[in-house]
Structure 1
Amino acid sequence: MQTPSRSRLSRDFWKLWTAAAISNIGDGIRVTALPLLIAAITRDPLIVSGVTAATFAPWILVSLPAGAIVDRLNRRHLMMIGQAVRGVVVGALALAILGGVESIPLIYVTAFVIGLGEVFVDSSSQAAIPMLVEEPELENANSKLLAVEFVTNDALGGPVGAWLFAYAPAIPFLLDSSTFLVAGLLISQITAPMQESVTAERPSMLDSIREGVSFVRNHELLGGIALAVALANLAVGAGGSILVLLALEVLGVSEVGFGLLVATGAIGGFIGAIAARRVSARIGRRMALTTGAALLGIGQAVMGLAVNGVIAGAGFFIGSLGVSVFSVVGRALRQGVTPDRLLGRVVATFRLIGVGAVPVGAVLAGVIADAFGLRVPYILGAAVIAIVTVAIYRIATEERIASSTGRAASLTRAREPAHNKNMSAIVDEVPLQGTEEPAFLISPESGPTRAAVLFLHWFDEAPNANRTQFVDEAVTLAETGAVSLLPQLSFPWGTPPAESEADLRRIEAEMTALRSGIELLSSRGELPLAVVGHDFGAMYGALLMAEVEPACGVMIAATPRWADWFLPFWPIAGDRFDYMRSLDPVDPVNAVSRVTAPLLFQFGKQDFYIAPMTGLELFRSANDPKTIETYDAGHEMELESIREDRARFLVEHLGLGEDQ
């Protein structure tokens, strides 16, 4: 069991938090006062409801391009501009009210501009949080932001807005305008960078949008969570749209009672936001997300079955509690696994999915309630959320969470300035033919590029068994003038292996992708090349080195034959020896015999998968010059001495230690 540590949130975060608190007070006041203003002009329900539609429309219309802009431009400036524009527009509406010239078109334009500003401000704010706090504090930061939103927006802003409007209709809008301007001023005082440096070369806006959407869709965690959020918001939108009718017509609650019913939701949301961090620390992020979804479903079911306002209030409390826990943990997870350069687009994609599902749910609720009664949408919503809960439990495994956050942490470390010299690594992501995920390209920020290295990772359930495995080593080599490519490899066969022809096609498909990686490195000039591989990565590397004749190569915990893995661990249909013979042309033991470059072989004495004689057979098949080193390590080969020996070998044979 983990215990949350004492908060270490930065001063700049608290400036952002204070700006959010002040802005949310204004939001709560306006959200109540704006419908009252238009209701004073007309009682047409379509026109009145259109104000809400105008406020949310920008999230559907411009959220994706806004996310791309957030990743391109200065986030602090975008937030300042967004707050200033909203402050001026709401102030203009207040002056119009004082002058007696308010109108429906003016209210609609104001609502739309407010929503437009919210798209940019909220997307920038969520994307900036990982730059203001350390990764372990993301849940803490999101908890505090969501909690203050419930208090200021829901608990304080609504009642204050209604009271001020009754006293003088212009006052709530003058106050709202001032909160935007003060929030913008506070944001201007944040000194920490709110994003990583933006490269000069940028893809087109459409390509940027596609990249953000593709990242969410293809991510092992975010894709499934995004779909779950859409389904959950469908149910939430359905229930929220008819809540007033359920309370007044079915449960017999008075108008004052309805206000108290809504207040129970705000209280539940506040408690959930405060408790989310401790819940996550105690039961883990997987169970925290699952519990949050389950509580939302239970709350929907209780509201649908309630016989009075008290029971419905309890259901609303439970559901809001669950929403807050899920939101805090989910936001922190999303921020932790997404590279900074994509975070604005990822936030926008989630908001589009979430906000877009709400009106769909509202329409469905109206149709279903009209046909079957006001309770049915809540019961159906609970059923949908039950499915979502099971899906979240299956998708958000601790292994996937650890793997995703580990990859993001390695990328973050790679983008920090190097410390040994006045040089830092430039980390880019580049597409490779035949791979679903882009490769990391890590190169020196300044000075000549003197060598190229292709790093090929190992395969396992460990967090670093992917393209991030060698990030730290690539950054160190960048300090000496080397450019490195770290592709994301695919598993070389079906599990269990099915037939030799299919498995040969998989290996050849991976080799085609790696050849395109060699071509990319070759485009940097005539540079000495090293190939470094671990596990299956080393076996792919052997085949590649037999083709390209590198300056040197490193093979870590590799086996002589592909079938060395099949025979002990997977059953093979058909004749096992025929299968082995069919893979003979692509076996590393044959490939290394054609390599004339210096090779370093590294093996672990405690390796569960590779016996000492197996590694020795591979070493003996190689040509001189060659070196073999064994270590008191397992198959993961994570000792610092292993990395140091590898680094010395590469520096020597690539000429990186020579003065230029």
Structure 2
Amino acid sequence: MKRFLVATVVGALILGVTAAGASNAGQLDRPRQPNPMVVTDIQIPVKGQAPVTAYLVRPAHVDRSEKLAGALYLHWFAPPNSTQNRTEFLAEAIALAGRGAVAILPQLTFPWEGDPIGDNSDRAKVTNQLAAVEAAYQALLRQDGVDPRRTAVIGHDYGAMYGSMLKSRAHALVFMAGDATWANWFDKYWLGLPADQAVAYRKVFTGLDPIDTVGRVKRVYFQWAGRDIFVSPEIRAAFSTANPKATVSLYETAEHFFNQQAKDDRLAWLTDQLDLR
């Protein structure tokens, strides 16, 4: 099990937050000393499957009386981008931990390590990946000091889709640029099915699509990118209909990877929802 401190990185992130909120230059010269974060490489057991590889991020020093929030970060699919894995949100998780949270960032495997093939086995693969994500969330709840009433799931792209479907409901969900159905992206970017087969394939995922489950989550923050070539305005509208009470941000000039403003807004929303300092 690998562990390493990230005091320097956290210090830089905290200084960035301080700078953004400072009212005069003198405040920038006196950043508070951060509590170093510990990043641990862990393995999470999953019944009937290989263990999940994940990062565990938490403050190095915590008062035993202090309750911590919990965050599960689920990454995007974007080959060959170097961030299409559990590293995507690592810096953000470190920043959130610096405000009083524990984060787990699992490595997802479908469709990262295997292509859809266009039949009922794809539903089983989604279900298995969902079980692994559920195991990661349960591992988060078992972490020392984590308050189960103050947890959030943050997902991007396929990560958002999996995050919206957890049976164990977190307190809050950040849904970043995911699709409404599994069949749409699987068909469009892998299978290229004829129209009649495409209709049948969509039925494979009946009751398992994110658009069917996101309405059950009470506190949702949808983040959409205005220049996203993968998510259409119609998909955005469908999610708003599915959960009309959700908070929504549209970043008109952002592409599918989003931008710094989206990250800042996400951290601010999570800070409020999880009652962080």
Structure 2: how far apart are the matches of 1:617 and 1:519? 30
Task: Name the structure where strand makes up a greater proportion of residues.
Answer: 2
Q: CA deviation at 1:436?
A: 5.9
Match of 2:10 among 418, 422, 432: 418
Q: Deviations over 1:520-539 (max 9, x none)?
A: 11112433110000000000
- 425 and 587 in structure 1: CA distance in 2 versus 1, 3 angstrom threshold: same
Q: CA deviation at 1:499?
A: 3.4
TM-align CA RMSD: 2.3
Contact 1:493 1:506 in 2 (8 A): no
Aligned residues: 244
Q: Which residue of 2 aligns with 1:618?
A: 239
Match of 1:514 among 112, 124, 133: 133
Equivalences for residues 106-505 of structure 1 within 5 A: 414=6, 416=8, 418-419=10-11, 420=14, 421-433=33-45, 434-435=49-50, 438-447=53-62, 448-460=66-78, 461-492=80-111, 497-505=116-124
Higher relative contact order structure (alpha carbons within 8 Å, sequence separation ≥ 6): 2
Say whether residues 1:542 and 2:193 are aligned partners.
no
- 642 and 417 in structure 1: CA distance in 2 versus 1, 3 angstrom threshold: closer
Q: Deviations over 1:431-487 (max 9, x none)?
A: 023456620000011123420000000011211111000011111111111000000
Say whether residues 1:649 and 2:264 are aligned partners.
no
- 502 and 493 in structure 1: CA distance in 2 versus 1, 3 angstrom threshold: farther
Q: Deviations over 1:175-225 (max 9, x none)?
A: xxxxxxxxxxxxxxxxxxxxxxxxxxxx7xxxxxxxxxxxxxxxxxxxxxx
Match of 2:257 among 624, 636, 649: 636
Contact 1:431 1:437 in 2 (8 A): yes
Structure 1: how far apart are the matches of 2:112 and 2:85? 17
- 496 and 439 in structure 1: CA distance in 2 versus 1, 3 angstrom threshold: closer
Q: Which residue of 2 aligns with 1:571?
A: 192
Q: Which residue of 1 aligns with 2:26?
A: none
Contact 2:134 2:168 in 1 (8 A): no
Corresponding residue SS for 1:486: strand
Q: CA deviation at 1:568?
A: 2.7
5+ residue gaps, structure 1: 1-202, 204-340, 343-411
Task: Supply the AA of the counterpart residue of 1:535.
Answer: D
Q: CA deviation at 1:519?
A: 1.4
Task: Supply the AA of the counterpart residue of 1:456.
Answer: L
Structure 2: how far apart are the matches of 1:493 and 1:642? 25
Contact 2:5 2:36 in 1 (8 A): no
- 621 and 427 in structure 1: CA distance in 2 versus 1, 3 angstrom threshold: same
Q: Which residue of 2 aligns with 1:73?
A: none
Q: Deviations over 1:260-315 (max 9, x none)?
A: xxxxxxxxxxxxxxxxxxxxxxxxxxxxxxxxxxxxxxxxxxxxxxxxxxxxxxxx
Say whether residues 1:561 and 2:181 are aligned partners.
yes
Q: Which residue of 2 aligns with 1:180?
A: none
* Identical-pair percentage: 28
Q: Which residue of 1 aligns with 2:23?
A: none
Structure 2: how far apart are the matches of 1:555 and 1:523? 24
Corresponding residue SS for 2:147: coil
Corresponding residue SS for 2:102: strand
Structure 2: how far apart are the matches of 1:481 and 1:540? 25
Structure 2: how far apart are the matches of 1:539 and 1:636? 16
Q: Which residue of 1 aligns with 2:223?
A: 602
Q: CA deviation at 1:495?
A: 6.6
Q: CA deviation at 1:595?
A: 1.6
Structure 2: how far apart are the matches of 1:454 and 1:623? 24
Structure 2: how far apart are the matches of 1:415 and 1:439? 20
Corresponding residue SS for 2:181: coil
Structure 2: how far apart are the matches of 1:613 and 1:414? 42
Corresponding residue SS for 1:609: coil
Corresponding residue SS for 2:165: helix
Q: Deviations over 1:598-641 (max 9, x none)?
A: 111111111111112212211220152x111111111111x110
- 612 and 556 in structure 1: CA distance in 2 versus 1, 3 angstrom threshold: same
Say whether residues 1:583 and 2:205 are aligned partners.
yes
Contact 2:77 2:112 in 1 (8 A): no
Contact 1:455 1:533 in 2 (8 A): yes
Contact 1:413 1:472 in 2 (8 A): no
Q: Which residue of 2 aligns with 1:54?
A: none
Contact 2:5 2:38 in 1 (8 A): no
Q: CA deviation at 1:571?
A: 1.7
Structure 1: how far apart are the matches of 2:232 and 2:199? 20
Task: Supply the AA of the counterpart residue of 1:489.
Answer: L
Corresponding residue SS for 2:173: strand
- 482 and 496 in structure 1: CA distance in 2 versus 1, 3 angstrom threshold: closer
Structure 2: how far apart are the matches of 1:562 and 1:476? 31
Structure 1: how far apart are the matches of 2:169 and 2:52? 27
Contact 1:415 1:427 in 2 (8 A): no
Structure 1: how far apart are the matches of 2:112 and 2:61? 41
Q: Give the TM-score of the pair, scaled to structure 1.
A: 0.35
- 417 and 611 in structure 1: CA distance in 2 versus 1, 3 angstrom threshold: closer
Q: CA deviation at 1:496?
A: 5.7
Task: Supply the AA of the counterpart residue of 1:440.
Answer: Y
Task: Name the structure where helix makes up a greater proportion of residues.
Answer: 1
- 413 and 616 in structure 1: CA distance in 2 versus 1, 3 angstrom threshold: farther
Contact 1:539 1:588 in 2 (8 A): yes
Contact 2:172 2:217 in 1 (8 A): no
5+ residue gaps, structure 2: 15-32
Corresponding residue SS for 1:586: coil
Structure 1: how far apart are the matches of 2:50 and 2:154? 19
Q: CA deviation at 1:416?
A: 3.7
Corresponding residue SS for 2:91: helix
Q: Give the TM-score of the pair, scaled to structure 2.
A: 0.81
